[in-house]
């Protein structure tokens, strides 16, 4: 049985609207933030409460937007950020989004600690 090749858009095909759409979902933004800190499988970079089919859906959207590169490694996929391609297309965008996400996360944590 032959494996179907996974489509990854070329750098030139990456569109800003698709990148912003993909990063607009909190679960996908968390995946990207985790991948920015480490390379690994879906399970290493994701909310453990998400089902396998939901994770597959999120990674498909990230891959088709040109944000991640997925490579088959045995029974798993290893996903890496396409940081260089994204920076070539939209300089500073990914870093800015990730910085903003970290600030928002810290603010939520501080706010929740203040309520106890």
Domains of the chain (ranges; CATH) run 14-108 (1.10.10.10)
From the number of C-beta atoms within 10 Å of its C-beta (0-12, 13-18, 19+), residue 41 rates as middle
| pLDDT tens-place string over residues 88-113 | 999 999 999 999 988 887 777 777 77
* pLDDT of res. 109: 75
* Local structure of residue 14 (DSSP, 8 states): -
- Judge whether 66 and 14 are in contact, CB under 8 Å: yes
Residue 101: CB atoms within 10 Å: 17
- Is the pLDDT at 74 greater than 90? The verdict is no
Axis crossing angle, helix 93-114 with helix 26-37, rounded to the nearest 10: 110
Nearest to 82 by CA among 27, 5, 10: 10
- For the segment 5-58, what is each residue's pLDDT rounded down to a tens digit? 788 999 999 999 999 999 999 999 999 998 998 755 555 556 667 888 898 899
Where b means 16+ CB within 10 Å and e means fewer, 8-18 reads bbeeeebeeeb
């Amino acid at each position: 049985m032959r494996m179907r090749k996974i489509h990854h858009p070329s750098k030139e095909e990456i569109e800003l609207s698709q990148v912003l759409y993909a990063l607009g979902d909190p679960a996908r933004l968390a995946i990207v933030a985790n991948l920015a800190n480490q390379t690994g499988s879906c399970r290493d970079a994701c909310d453990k409460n998400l089902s396998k089919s939901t994770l597959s859906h999120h990674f498909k959207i990230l891959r088709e937007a040109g944000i991640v590169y997925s490579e088959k490694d045995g029974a798993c996929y290893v996903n890496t950020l396409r940081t260089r391609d994204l920076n070539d297309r939209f300089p500073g965008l990914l870093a800015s989004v990730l910085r903003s996400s970290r600030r928002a996360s810290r603010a939520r944590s501080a706010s929740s600690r203040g309520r106890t």
